[in-house]
């Protein structure tokens, strides 16, 4: 009897056998557990704490006590002129950054996709800005546009384009433009790399068919290349929008919010209220508004663009 029971007893499956029997969906969820725990500890909990702070009046220069304010912080923010102006500057900065970075990245990817001598070295050269820290990039661009010994002033003066060295950062629109170009230069390698990877995956048969139909270079780019790049360009626009809206370190080292308050973006205003004025409740409310703005613009852009193919299929 004992022998029969022993023979019928099946050995317990090992861990590898259990993983082999697990479905792909469950196995994927199992792999996501460590990442989910890290995000919960380092992202979700601080966000929840900041959301709770935004409902209180916390003025550390007056008292460490938390006074309940409810939606009062948000209501007062919407009535402040500084917040409205910084919001407008943030949107303008994001538009300039996204437009310049995506355009430059597309041009660089198209150039690097063509065969020419030294293409490998050019690809390495394009990747160099990616290795530069944002703080270092801000300092670098500040010295490039320095009023006394900046390289930009020297080149333009030697070329006869300006009568004398000028102070570039005394004008808020010019300072915003320089900051947008610096941000675009910093993020250009990543965007160019992903666009180049998509370019190299486009079937050559599509271009051969377009040439047989008599399509020129512009027509091939419009009717073959752009439709194939549509998805990756949407991704680039969304990523660059998120980067531009939360940009702070480069602005901090490049302009320090000047001239005056001319380059104080919403992220910089959060820093001012949190670490200079020690108004933590107001800073948390501003951060919540900035997060909402990032979610809306980052999520609305691909939805609006994705409606066009749906309409085209319906019209067809």
102 is a domain residue: yes
Domain containing 275 — which CATH number? 1.10.3720.10
294 is a domain residue: yes
Same domain membership, residue 122 and residue 24: no
Q: What is the mean pLDDT of residues 290-300?
A: 84
Per-residue pLDDT of 270-290, as tens digits, reads 999 999 999 999 999 999 999
- Phi then psi for residue 95, to 5 deg, are -65, -45
Per-residue pLDDT of 56-77, as tens digits, reads 999 988 888 899 988 888 988 8
Task: Give the model's pLDDT for residue 47.
Answer: 86
- For residue 144, pLDDT over 80 is answered with yes
Q: What is the mean pLDDT of residues 49-61?
A: 91
Q: Which helix (H) or strand (E) holds 211?
A: helix 204-212
Same domain membership, residue 86 and residue 193: yes
Same domain membership, residue 128 and residue 226: yes
Same domain membership, residue 127 and residue 26: no
Total domains present in the chain: 2
Domain encompassing residue 38: 14-43
Same domain membership, residue 124 and residue 28: no
Task: Give the model's pLDDT for residue 118.
Answer: 83
120 is a domain residue: yes
Q: What is the DSSP letter of 169?
A: G
CA gap 96, 110 in Å, rounded: 21
- For residue 140, pLDDT over 90 is answered with yes
- For residue 6, pLDDT over 90 is answered with no
Q: Which residues have CB under 8 Å from 16's CB, separation 6+?
A: none
Same domain membership, residue 123 and residue 38: no
278 is a domain residue: yes
Same domain membership, residue 30 and residue 97: no
CA gap 194, 299 in Å, rounded: 20
Task: Give the model's pLDDT for residue 312.
Answer: 47
CA gap 88, 14 in Å, rounded: 60
67 is a domain residue: no
56 is a domain residue: no
Per-residue pLDDT of 182-200, as tens digits, reads 999 999 999 999 999 999 9
64 is a domain residue: no
Question: How many separate helices (H) and strands (E) can be counted in the chain?
Answer: 16, 2
Same domain membership, residue 295 and residue 159: yes
Same domain membership, residue 142 and residue 30: no
**Full-model pTM:** 0.83
pLDDT tier, 105 (very low <50, low <70, confident <90, very high otherwise): very high
pLDDT tier, 19 (very low <50, low <70, confident <90, very high otherwise): low
Task: Give the model's pLDDT for residue 33.
Answer: 86
Same domain membership, residue 100 and residue 38: no
133 is a domain residue: yes
Task: Give the model's pLDDT for residue 268.
Answer: 94
CA gap 288, 71 in Å, rounded: 12
Task: Give the model's pLDDT for residue 315.
Answer: 47
Task: Give the model's pLDDT for residue 101.
Answer: 94
Same domain membership, residue 89 and residue 26: no
* R_g (Cα) of the chain, nearest Å: 27
Q: What is the mean pLDDT of residues 282-304?
A: 83
Give the CA distances from residue 14 to residues 11, 100, 128, in Å, rounded to whole numbers and listed in that order: 9, 55, 48
């Amino acid at each position: 009897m004992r022998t029969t029971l022993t023979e019928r007893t099946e050995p317990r499956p090992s861990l590898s056998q259990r993983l082999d029997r697990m479905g792909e969906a469950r196995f994927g969820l199992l792999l996501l557990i460590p990442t989910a725990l890290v995000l919960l500890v380092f992202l979700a909990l601080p966000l929840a704490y900041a959301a709770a702070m935004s409902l209180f009046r916390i003025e550390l220069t007056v008292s460490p006590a938390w006074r309940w304010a409810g939606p009062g912080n948000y209501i007062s923010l919407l009535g402040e002129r500084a917040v409205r102006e910084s919001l407008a500057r943030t949107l303008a900065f994001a538009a300039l950054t996204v437009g310049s970075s995506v355009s430059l990245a597309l041009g660089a990817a198209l150039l690097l996709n063509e065969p020419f001598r030294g293409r490998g070295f050019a690809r390495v050269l394009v990747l160099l800005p990616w290795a530069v820290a944002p703080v270092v990039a801000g300092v670098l661009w500040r010295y490039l546009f320095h009023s006394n010994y900046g390289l930009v002033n020297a080149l333009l003066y030697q070329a006869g384009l300006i009568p004398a060295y000028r102070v570039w950062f005394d004008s808020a629109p010019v300072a915003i433009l320089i900051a947008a170009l610096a941000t675009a230069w910093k993020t250009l390698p990543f965007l160019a790399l992903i666009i180049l990877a998509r370019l190299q995956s486009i079937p050559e048969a599509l271009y051969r068919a377009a040439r047989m139909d008599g399509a020129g270079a512009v027509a091939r780019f419009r009717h073959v290349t752009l439709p194939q790049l549509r998805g990756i360009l949407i991704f680039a626009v969304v990523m660059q929008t998120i980067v531009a809206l939360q940009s702070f370190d480069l602005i901090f080292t490049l302009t320090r919010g000047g001239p005056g308050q001319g380059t104080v973006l919403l992220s910089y205003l959060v820093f001012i209220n949190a670490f200079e004025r020690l108004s933590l409740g107001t800073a948390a409310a501003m951060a919540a508004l900035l997060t909402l703005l990032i979610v809306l613009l980052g999520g609305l852009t691909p939805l609006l663009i994705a409606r066009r193919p749906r309409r085209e299929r319906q019209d067809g």
